[in-house]
Amino acid sequence: MSSKPSQIVRRVLALSLALFCLVQAHADTRLVNISSRGVVGSGEGQVIAGFVIPGGPSKTLLIRAAGPALVSLGLNGALTNPKITVVDSTGATVAQNDDWSLTLSATFSAVGAFSFAAGSADSALVATLAPGAYTVVVTGATSTTGLGLVEVYEMDTNNVLLNLSTRGNVGTGDQVLIAGFVVAGSGAPRQVLLRGVGPGLANKGVSSPMADPKIVLYNSLGVAMASNDDWGTPATANDVSASVLSSAATQIGASSLNAGSKDSAMIATLAPGAYSVQLSGANSTTGVALAEIYDVTSLNLNLPAPAITTQPSSVTVNAGASVTFNVAVSGTAVAYQWYKNGVAISGATTASFTINAAASANAGNYTVTVTNAAGVVTSNAATLTVN
């Protein structure tokens, strides 16, 4: 897995991280917000973001489509004039915007969204929506095409957005599909089902689905945490089986994937923070694909509790040397968090932790906590001595 995402991946992660900083005070964890970037075309090439507002009170959202604003990121081929249309489960249009209003500037700041240039052709609206399923369709206002970023921000805590998804035409390079989301709060990790659906769209009327989608999960520092290419084939021994993935999809109400299909899926255990899922085509395949993010924490998945099979080792190095601590575990859908002297290390959320050039300030005791829905285990301390 590459640990060097593109500039736009890092930008999506930065946006998600800003949102996380605004909402992390909540004691209970939950999934909030989605920001997805893809190629906006016509017909099946539209970028479509979906979400569900569960039963209860109405929910107020800020919904945006950025095109011209992406030029400042050095992105070539940005959509010059995006338009957003919010559609409910009956197909009725409930909100629409082409060219944002400067009066929304304060709202952008309040939710942690980056600013748009005054008078730009980016789009934004605020909508208060009743419980139900919605899609946000992004198109070119004058049949224009290009890269666009669609964002959905919560403006209240009345309900929790469920079943976040984005569908778009996926290319290569900067034209892959990227979905950012936040695990908000300061409580326990969440179990999240991530899927990249291509062949599974063929029976839903999509004429040019991606033949072989692949998904990669990144943390807030842009480090690749996990990946999957073909949902029936776990990438590592710590990934859940196809039967567990199928059970999770059934319980959460997601569409089933055909056995042996080239669609992708995995379950990850994620601590509070900002994350991004990159969907691309294996072997540079292209086509229409769907990225899906489901919170499956409440489901009974019968996952085995994690156990450490190889502890991290103490090491002594000279100043300037590279150091890597590793841990091996049994158990599936596990999350990692490394600590130095009992303090969590930001972004250290994989089975290994590397210090590229050790200094005296890095000396200390390092541990890692491994978590999934069935339990949590902490490693023995590994001591780093720097001469």
Q: Both 316 and 195 in a single domain? A: no
- Per residue in 193-207, pLDDT (tens digit) is 999 999 999 988 888
How many residues are there in the chain?
387
Q: Which residues contact residue 106 at a Cβ distance below 8 angstroms, ignoring those fewer than 6 apart?
A: none
Question: How high is the pLDDT of residue 312?
Answer: 97
Mean pLDDT of all residues in 321-347: 94
Q: Which of 252, 275, 295 is a domain's end point?
A: 295
The arithmetic mean of pLDDT across residues 144-161, rounded, is 83
Last residue of a domain, one of 264, 295, 326: 295
Domain count, the chain: 2
The whole-number pLDDT of residue 24 equals 38
Same structural domain, 291 and 350: no
Specify if 300 maps to a domain: no
The pLDDT confidence band at residue 182, using thresholds 50, 70 and 90, is confident
Phi first, then psi, for residue 204 (nearest 5°) are -115, 20
Looking at the fold, whether 111 and 148 belong to one and the same domain comes out as yes
Are residue 31 and residue 132 in the same domain, yes or no? yes
The residue among 263, 295, 327 that closes a domain is 295
Residue 258 shares a structural domain with residue 315: no
pLDDT reported for residue 164: 81
pLDDT at residue 2 is higher than 80 = no
Please tell me the distance from the alpha carbon of residue 128 to that of residue 119, in angstroms, as a whole number. 25
Q: Which domain holds residue 353?
A: 307-386
Alpha-carbon Rg for the chain in angstroms: 21
Which one has a higher pLDDT value, 182 or 277?
277
Q: How confident is the model at residue 229 (pLDDT cuts 50, 70, 90)?
A: very high
Residue 376 lies in a domain: yes
Query: Do 149 and 37 share a domain, yes or no?
Result: yes
> Do 16 and 136 reside in the same domain of the chain?
yes
Cα–chain center distance at 177: 11
285 phi and psi angles, rounded to 5 deg = -70, 155
Residue-level pLDDT at 166: 84
Residue 358, domain member (yes or no) = yes
| Residue with the two structure tokens 């509790």 | 305
Alpha-carbon distance of 44 to 332, in angstroms, equals 36
Beta carbons within 10 angstroms of residue 378's beta carbon: 13
Parallel, antiparallel or unpaired: strands 382-386 and 315-317: parallel
Q: Is residue 47 part of a domain?
A: yes
Tell me, yes or no, whether 301 lies in a domain. Answer: no
Q: How confident is the model at residue 157 (pLDDT cuts 50, 70, 90)?
A: confident
CB 283 within 8 A of CB 229: no
pLDDT tens per residue, range 4-62: 444 444 444 334 333 333 333 334 566 666 777 676 766 766 788 888 888 889 999 99
Same domain, 291 and 311: no
Buried b / exposed e across 260-278, counting CB within 10 Å, b at 16+? Answer: ebbbbbbbbbbbbbbbbbb
Tell whether the model's pLDDT for residue 328 goes beyond 90: yes
Please provide the distance, in angstroms rounded to a whole number, between the alpha carbons at the two ends of the chain.
33
Structural domain includes residue 185: yes
- Please tell me whether residues 284 and 237 are part of one structural domain: yes
- Weakest-pLDDT range from 27-36, 293-302, 321-330: 27-36
User: What one-character DSSP code corresponds to residue 161?
Assistant: -
Verify that 210 and 352 share a domain, yes or no.
no
Assess whether pLDDT exceeds 80 at residue 322.
Answer: yes
Question: In this structure, what CATH number is given to the domain that contains residue 365?
Answer: 2.60.40.10
Do 318 and 281 lie in one domain? The reply is no
Position 302 in a domain = no
Q: 94 and 228 in one domain?
A: yes
